[in-house]
Chain A
Amino acid sequence: ETGVTQTPRHLVMGMTNKKSLKCEQHLGHNAMYWYKQSAKKPLELMFVYSLEERVENNSVPSRFSPECPNSSHLFLHLHTLQPEDSALYLCASSQEARGTEAFFGQGTRLTVV
């Protein structure tokens, strides 16, 4: 398996649920990212990890909690979400955190009901 793999592809959750999104990259990259894509809005950077250390947290609400246990895996833990959090959540990786192109997974389509 190659590239960036995200699971699940689709997720419906209630506002009181706790769920996690998973991302795995098979490219040997050192940086991983979470982005949010909402309708009619540009992709928004949420978190950046470089060599397993979080180096950027783009003013994301605490109901989103990232975890990077190693350079190949990235999680986004979700709890007490709001309907406006419904969006496509994209994971990406790049060789380095600066100046190199990022490769994206297929995304998780999240619906909060």
Chain B
Amino acid sequence: EDQVTQSPEALRLQEGESSSLNCSYTVSGLRGLFWYRQDPGKGPEFLFTLYSAGEEKEKERLKATLTKKESFLHITAPKPEDSATYLCAVQERSGGGADGLTFGKGTHLIIQP
């Protein structure tokens, strides 16, 4: 069973058309939820960290929110340069040691001029 599921897999919007990307997760205890942006052929670029339900973070046209089961990345009035793959990742609380991130497959977003 996937721990992190992102939807939709792909999304095509017109410039200025606002929308939301979804990330649902199933972990026993959440240490943190992370959003990244990835452009083709490049490494993921960090956007936001969310730690607890009800938390919100904003950066330019992006706003991330978190509930106990899912996170949304809201994109307001997007521009063509917002086109990218958006990745969601979680880090689970564990008894000890270090944990890396568990990623979803991403949402491929295309903003048409």
Contacts and interface: CB of A to CB of B under 8 A. Distances in A.
Interface of A: 4, 6, 31, 33, 35, 40-43, 45, 48, 50, 55-56, 58, 90, 92, 97-107, 109
Interface of B: 4, 31-32, 34, 36, 41-46, 49, 51, 87, 89, 91, 97-106
B103 A55 contact: no
Nearest to A30: B98
A4 B77 CA distance: 31
Given A42-B105, A98-B31, A33 B100 contact: yes
B63 to A, nearest CB: 17
Nearest to B91: A99
A interface: dominant SS: strand
15 contacts: A6-B43, A43-B44, A45-B100, A56-B97, A56-B99, A90-B43, A92-B43, A98-B98, A99-B31, A99-B51, A102-B46, A102-B100, A104-B44, A106-B43, A107-B41
B44 A90 contact: yes
Contacts of B36: 104
- Identify the 10 closest CB pairs spanning chains A and B, nearest first: A97-B98, A104-B43, A45-B100, A43-B103, A55-B98, A42-B103, A50-B98, A99-B31, A104-B44, A106-B43
Contacts of B97: 55-56
A83 to B, nearest CB: 20
A51 to B, nearest CB: 10
A36 B1 CA distance: 20
Contact of A40 (B34, B46, B91, B105): B105
Contacts of A105: 43
B104 A97 contact: no
A41 B105 contact: yes
Given A42-B102, A48-B100, A55-B97, 16 more contacts: A31-B98, A35-B100, A40-B105, A43-B44, A43-B89, A43-B101, A45-B100, A48-B98, A55-B98, A56-B97, A92-B43, A97-B98, A101-B34, A101-B49, A104-B36, A105-B43
